């Protein structure tokens, strides 16, 4: 086991930790977990009532952190992972109102690093809280400082910590110029650098595993690779819908050997790019419409293939397996669904659907093999889950539930 997180570089990983958006390495993959060998009904353990929001939980040192909204406050609280016993609670005032009236709560998943919990509220406030006590250490207002726009559904980029910097896609600007992507100092919250005029998307950045010095962003305009030290843009490529009423939401997917897969709906499709570390060069390998057009779900990579949800939430999605090298569809599941999110555990995939069902199926590129299908939450929600020590932490519009996956 590596002593340091690839992304949250100052946090020592323990078995079962899920300390940030999309897991330990930001790849939707649970590390150091026992394999799922059967297909038994998941066992409910405990639940916690919550306010509004789509921000998923994170788990670190047997403690779960969740952020949600109650009335005029954004609530971030720590609970014991085993039984939900409260540890601490922090509240911050908010006046955010969703432009479409969908949900006024937070979207961004917190990140735990160097004894801090980093949150990013829909109103544009970035906060660092003490992991042990919940006390506020610093805050940074991206609206007041950078004119970060609200966009369609508020600010939603989940913070990524790398090289003691908090990286975000905020789509801002100030007297110094564009601040599409920024870095804040992890210790103080001070703005370290800003770069690009790109508008914010609903995607969150990832670090390229084969090159620890750079990170990949999927901004509203498209693909971007930036240097962590100073924000220098090393490569970019336009990849977005032709219509203005569209969003890029899935995170970039590292596919081994410097390859990155990007995908979006609204007739954009999927594309594979190759990053050359030595030359700092990004090359387009292929782009295909109607192959894997992900509305908001980040696909999962495993053994040369990605598994993801193809299509728009409004019209229904199809679970597909895609060959990374060629972009060809290997299979499509027979039952369509409105949406959901994915986690890889060993050679099994967990899909928590918008209908509130948990699907467990094999990461098998030859066929769709559904092993288990159970109702675990209410319908109508799209937050990302966390997986720790055999437990799935999932939420819906009113509560967080914890189930043991057998």
Task: Provide the sign of the torsion angle of the four alpha carbons 49, 251, 149, 76, taken in this order.
Answer: positive
- Span 241-252, pLDDT tens digits: 989 888 899 999
* 26-59 confidence digits (pLDDT tens): 999 998 898 898 778 999 999 999 999 999 999 9
Residue 245's pLDDT is: 84
Query: Is 170:155 a contact under the CB 8 Å cutoff?
Result: yes
pTM for this model (two decimals): 0.95
Mean pLDDT of 52-78: 97
| Residue 15's pLDDT band (cuts 50, 70, 90) | low
The CATH code for residues 29-404 is 2.130.10.10
**375, two tokens:** 């109702």
Q: What is the mean pLDDT of the chain?
A: 94
Whether 384 and 341 have beta carbons less than 8 Å apart is answered as yes
Domain residue spans of the chain: 29-404
In the predicted model, what is the mean pLDDT of residues 178-193?
98
CA-closest candidate to residue 377, choices 353, 347, 348, 361: 353
pLDDT computed for residue 201 by the predictor: 95
Beta pairing, strands 370-375 & 86-93: unpaired
pLDDT at 174: 92
Asked whether residue 369 carries a pLDDT value surpassing 90, the answer given is: yes
**Cα-only R_g, the chain:** 19
Report whether pLDDT(1) > 70.
Answer: no
CA angle 45, 47, 51 (to 5 degrees): 165
309: left (phi over 0), alpha (psi -120 to 50) or beta: beta
Residue 184: predicted pLDDT: 98
Per residue, the 3-state secondary structure of the chain, as one string, reads: CCCCCCCCCCCCCCCCCECCCCCCCCCCEECCCCCCCCCCCCEEEEEEECCECCCCCEEECCEEEEEEEECCEEEEEEEECCCCCEEEEEEEECCCCCCCCCCCCCCCCCEEECCEEEEECCCCEEEEEECCCCCEEEEEEHHHHHCCCCCCCCCCCCCEEECCEEEEEEEEEECCEEEEEEEEECCCCCEEEEECCCCCCCCCCEECCCCCCEEEEECCCEEEEEECCCCCEEEEEECCCCCCCCCCCCCCEECCCCEEEEEECCCCEEEEEEEECCCCEEEEEEEECCCCCECCCCCEEECCEEEEEEECCCCCEEEEEEECCCCCEEEECCCCECCEEEEEECCEEEEEECCCEEEEEECCCCCCCEEEEEECCCCCCCCCCEEECCEEEEECCCEEEEEECC
Q: What is the pLDDT of residue 7?
A: 46
pLDDT tens-digit map of 315-364:
889 999 999 999 999 999 999 998 999 999 999 999 999 999 999 999 99
Which two three-digit tokens encode residue 14? 């323990």
Give me the residues paired with residue 319 across strands: 309
Q: What is the pLDDT of residue 179?
A: 97
pLDDT at position 10 is 46
Structure confidence at residue 135 (pLDDT): 98
What the block records as the tokens of 295 is 């509305």
Burial of 244 (0-12, 13-18, 19+ CB in 10 A): exposed
Which residues lie across from 343 on neighbouring strands? 350
pLDDT at 3 over 50: no
Q: Of 3-7, 115-119, 126-130, 136-140, which gets the smallest average pLDDT?
A: 3-7
Q: Residue 6 pLDDT > 80, yes or no?
A: no
Could you tell me which of 234, 241, 244, 200 has the C-alpha nearest to residue 218? 200
Encode pLDDT of 129-150 as tens digits. Answer: 999 999 999 999 999 999 999 9
| Band (4; pLDDT cuts 50, 70, 90) | very low
With beta carbons less than 8 A apart as the criterion, state whether 141 and 120 touch. Answer: no
pLDDT at 348: 96
């Amino acid at each position: 086991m590596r002593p340091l997180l690839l992304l949250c570089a100052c946090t020592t990983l323990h078995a079962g930790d899920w300390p940030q958006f999309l897991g330990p390495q930001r790849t939707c993959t649970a590390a150091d977990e026992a394999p799922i060998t059967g297909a038994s009904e998941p066992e409910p353990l405990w639940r916690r009532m919550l306010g509004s929001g789509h921000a998923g939980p994170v788990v670190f040192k047997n403690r779960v952190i969740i952020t949600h909204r109650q009335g005029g406050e954004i609530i971030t609280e720590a609970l014991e992972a085993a039984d939900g016993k409260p540890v601490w609670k922090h509240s911050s005032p908010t006046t955010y109102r969703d432009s479409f009236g969908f949900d006024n709560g937070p979207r961004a998943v917190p990140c735990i690093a160097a004894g801090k919990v980093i949150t990013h509220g829909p109103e544009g406030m970035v906060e660092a809280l003490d992991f042990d006590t919940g006390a506020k250490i610093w805050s940074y207002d991206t609206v007041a400082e950078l004119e970060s726009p609200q966009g369609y559904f508020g600010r939603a980029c989940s913070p990524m910590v790398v090289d003691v910097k908090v990286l975000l896609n905020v789509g801002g600007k100030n007297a110094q110029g564009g601040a599409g992507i920024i870095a804040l100092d992890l210790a103080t919250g001070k703005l370290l650098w800003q770069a690009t005029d790109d508008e914010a998307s609903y995607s969150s950045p990832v670090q390229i595993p084969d090159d620890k010095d750079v990170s990949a962003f999927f901004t509203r305009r498209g693909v971007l690779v930036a240097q962590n030290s100073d924000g220098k843009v090393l490569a970019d490529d336009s990849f977005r819908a032709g219509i203005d009423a569209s969003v890029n939401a899935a995170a970039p997917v590292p596919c081994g050997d410097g390859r990155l897969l990007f995908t979006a709906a609204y007739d954009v499709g999927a594309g594979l790019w190759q990053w050359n570390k030595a030359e700092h060069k990004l090359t387009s390998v292929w782009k295909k419409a109607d192959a894997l057009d992900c509305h908001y779900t980040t696909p999962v990579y495993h053994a040369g293939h990605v598994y993801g949800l193809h299509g728009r939430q409004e019209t229904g999605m199809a679970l597909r397996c895609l060959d990374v090298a060629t972009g060809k569809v290997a299979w499509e599941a027979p039952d369509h669904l409105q949406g959901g999110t994915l986690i890889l555990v060993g050679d099994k995939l967990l899909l928590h659907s918008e209908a509130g069902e948990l699907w467990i199926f094999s990461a098998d590129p030859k066929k769709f093999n559904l092993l288990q299908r159970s109702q675990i939450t209410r319908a109508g929600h799209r937050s990302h889950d966390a997986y720790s020590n055999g437990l799935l932490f999932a939420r819906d519009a009113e509560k967080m539930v914890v189930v043991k996956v057998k």
